[in-house]
């Protein structure tokens, strides 16, 4: 378990799947998440929990100060690249703007640099998710570039922004 100022992060458990499914089903969340166009059925996710969660990409539930699961955050070491991690985060829309995302990002990034000896942490975000981009910038990430027309949602392609933070930048 990782402890932040507003949240704690722990591995996703089977009991979390229904809540995570509901969050991922929110139209506001789906617009920004960059994920699949359709979610697998909840019963499938529950039945195949061990195959879907925490294998290659670690998924951590984000639990707030009231012990409510407000979202999840993921990380994965990039294959064939030593000490480079990719992260992603999803927060339920009714919990946006409360600092849970920023605290989760800071907590996970600290863990990756301090405990996992990460050299680099990177992410991609859809270019119109300005709230997330501001959050990442405030956590020390910098924009590295764009992938043009990378994300498709509701009949329209959008760019994704590539961002990262390096160990020496974090330790300053």
Set out the domains of the chain in order of their start, with CATH numbers: 2-171 (3.40.630.30)
Model confidence band, residue 31 (pLDDT cutoffs 50, 70, 90): confident
Model confidence band, residue 55 (pLDDT cutoffs 50, 70, 90): low
142-147: long-range pairs with CB below 8 Å, 24+? 142/169
pLDDT at position 87 over 90:
yes
Rounded to an integer, the average pLDDT of 67-86 is 93
pLDDT of residue 46: 66
* 115 vs 50, residue with greater confidence: 115
Phi, psi of 31 (to 5 degrees): -60, -30
**Contact by Cβ (8 Å): 125, 132:** yes
**Contact by Cβ (8 Å): 19, 69:** yes
Rounded to an integer, the average pLDDT of 36-49 is 65
pLDDT at position 14 over 90:
no
pLDDT of residue 94: 96
pLDDT at position 129 over 90:
yes
Model confidence band, residue 99 (pLDDT cutoffs 50, 70, 90): very high
Rounded to an integer, the average pLDDT of 36-58 is 66
Q: How far apart are CA 14 and CA 7, in angstroms?
A: 20
pLDDT of residue 141: 98
Q: Calculate Rg over the CA atoms of the chain.
A: 16
pLDDT at position 78 over 60:
yes
Rounded to an integer, the average pLDDT of 80-100 is 95
Rounded to an integer, the average pLDDT of 72-98 is 94
């Amino acid at each position: 378990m990782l402890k932040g100022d507003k949240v704690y992060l722990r591995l996703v458990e089977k009991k979390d799947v229904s809540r995570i499914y509901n969050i991922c089903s929110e139209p506001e969340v789906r617009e920004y998440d960059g994920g699949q166009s359709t979610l697998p059925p909840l019963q499938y996710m529950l039945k195949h929990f061990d195959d879907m969660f925490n294998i290659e990409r670690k998924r951590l539930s984000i639990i707030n100060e009231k012990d409510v699961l407000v979202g999840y955050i993921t990380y994965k070491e990039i294959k064939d690249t030593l000490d480079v991690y990719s992260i992603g985060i999803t927060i339920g829309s009714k919990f946006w703007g409360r600092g849970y995302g920023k605290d989760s990002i800071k907590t996970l990034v600290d863990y990756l640099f301090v405990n996992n000896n990460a050299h680099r942490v990177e992410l991609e975000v859809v270019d119109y998710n300005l709230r997330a981009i501001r959050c990442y910038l405030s956590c020390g990430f910098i924009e590295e570039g764009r992938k043009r027309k990378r994300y498709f949602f509701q009949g329209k392609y959008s760019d994704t922004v590539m961002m990262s933070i390096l160990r020496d930048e974090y330790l300053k």
